Amino acid sequence: MSHPTMGVEEEFLLVDPESGAPVALNGRTAELAAERGVDLQLELTSCQVETATPVISTAAQAAEELRRLRRVAAESAEAAGARLLAVGLPPTVPHEFPITDDERYHRIAERFGMIASEQGICGCHVHVEVPSREAAVDVGNRLRPWLPTLLAMTANSAIYRGADSGHASWRSVLWGRWPSAGPPPHFESVDDYDAGVRMMLGVGAMLDGGQVYWDVRPSANFPTVEVRVADVPATVGQTALFAAVVRAAVVTVLADRERGAPITPPSAHVLRAAYWKSAREGLDGDAVDLVGTGATVPAATLVNRLIDLVGPALEATGDADVVRRELEDLMSTGNGATRQRRAYARRHDPADVVAAVAESTLEGL
Residue 45 has pLDDT above 80, yes or no: yes
**Tally of structural domains, the chain:** 1
What was the pLDDT predicted at 95?
59
pLDDT the model gives residue 36? 97
Query: Is residue 262 assigned to a domain?
Result: yes
Q: Is 7 exposed, middle or buried (0-12, 13-18, 19+ CB in 10 A)?
A: buried
Kind of pairing between the strands at 216-218 and 163-164: unpaired
- Return mean pLDDT, the chain: 95
Q: Which domain holds residue 318?
A: 6-361
Residue at 271 is within a domain = yes
* pLDDT attached to residue 278: 98
pLDDT band (50, 70, 90) for residue 212: very high
- 322 within 8 A of 59, measured Cβ to Cβ: yes
What CATH number does residue 298 fall under? 3.30.590.20
Residue 1 has pLDDT above 50, yes or no: no
* pLDDT given for residue 118 in this prediction: 78
**What value does the mean pLDDT take over residues 26-34?**
98
Q: Flag whether pLDDT at 222 surpasses 90.
A: no
| Separation between Cα atoms, residue 117 and residue 45, nearest integer Å | 8
Q: How many CB atoms lie within 10 A of CB 213?
A: 17
Q: What is the structure's pLDDT at 96?
A: 67
Q: How confident is the model at residue 343 (pLDDT cuts 50, 70, 90)?
A: very high
In a domain, 1, yes or no: no
The DSSP bridge partners found for residue 49 are: 12, 42
Q: Is residue 199 part of a domain?
A: yes
Flag whether pLDDT at 2 surpasses 60. no
Per residue in 286-296, pLDDT (tens digit) is 999 999 889 99
- pLDDT band, residue 79 (cuts 50/70/90): very high
Give 43's DSSP letter.
-
Compute the residue count for the chain.
365
**Average of per-residue pLDDT across 335-348:** 97
Over pLDDT 70: what percentage of the chain? 99
Cα–Cα distance, 315 to 349 (Å, whole number): 43
Other CB atoms within a 10 A radius of the CB of residue 54 amount to 10
Domain-embedded: residue 15:
yes
pLDDT in tens, 137-164: 999 999 999 999 999 999 999 999 999 9
Exposure on the CB side of residue 132, measured as CA atoms within 13 A? 7
Nearest to 348 by CA among 162, 170, 167, 169: 162
State pTM to two decimals: 0.96
